[in-house]
Structure 1
Amino acid sequence: MDYQNINLLHRALDATNLRQEVVSNNIANVNTPGFKAERVEFESVLRQTMDGSGLWKTHDRHFGIDDKNNVTGKVLRQEGNRVGENGNNVAIDTEMSELAANSIHYQALVNQTSAQYNMLRSVLR
């Protein structure tokens, strides 16, 4: 049994939870003047960590990611969207599709996590 897989699944679940909060906040602020939408990056950070192109820690006090078990979601301000007259760049259609995609992703991660725990339970019997 690979406990690293379970840990990674938990980190991915945390990132989808964070993404849900960020998208919900974007939707709640669709009419707020000057509000800038945010996005959560997790998969790209994980990919960089796994292929070795990310930042690596060479000392305990350095910033970086030393392995995939330390990857977390990062909230970034979204740039490039068309800004409305009030300075807001939230596109409600984009946010609703992000919300739906994130829900599907979350459910898939829950199913994978459940399968990992079921395998662990069967080994312990």
Structure 2
Amino acid sequence: MASSDEGNRGIHIGEVHGAFAIGDNNTVTHNEHAPGHPGTDPAQEELLAAVRQLRADLARVIETPQVTLLSAELADAQQEIETGGRTAPGRLDRLRVALSDAGAVTGMLASGAAVAQAVAGLLGG
């Protein structure tokens, strides 16, 4: 609810639910799970953080077919976790293969090792 006080041209916001932005040139990032979703477990949160970091690191490397495939798998995994709270086992398998295929690049990135470790932990091995 918004209101304006007499003599004060400011805006008072009493309570807000969801995402919003005030002013020019703002961006809103709102990561909320679907209603009734129990939330993301710590292992999935760890994977999400590692995926985000690796995606940022990959944006600075030379694009190869393997890097392109890995970037797509990372984007899909990130979306799954942000919207559903977890990645599907099939996605984890594809991510593990894509990490392996792009090993020449990911092997020299700490974020690549972090994603590989998180995926292995979630797959139980």
TM over 0.5, shorter chain: no
TM-score interval, normalised by the smaller of the two chains? under 0.3
Instruction: Pick 1 or 2: higher relative contact order, CA cutoff 8 A, min separation 6.
Output: 1
Q: Provide TM-score, normalisation by structure 1.
A: 0.27
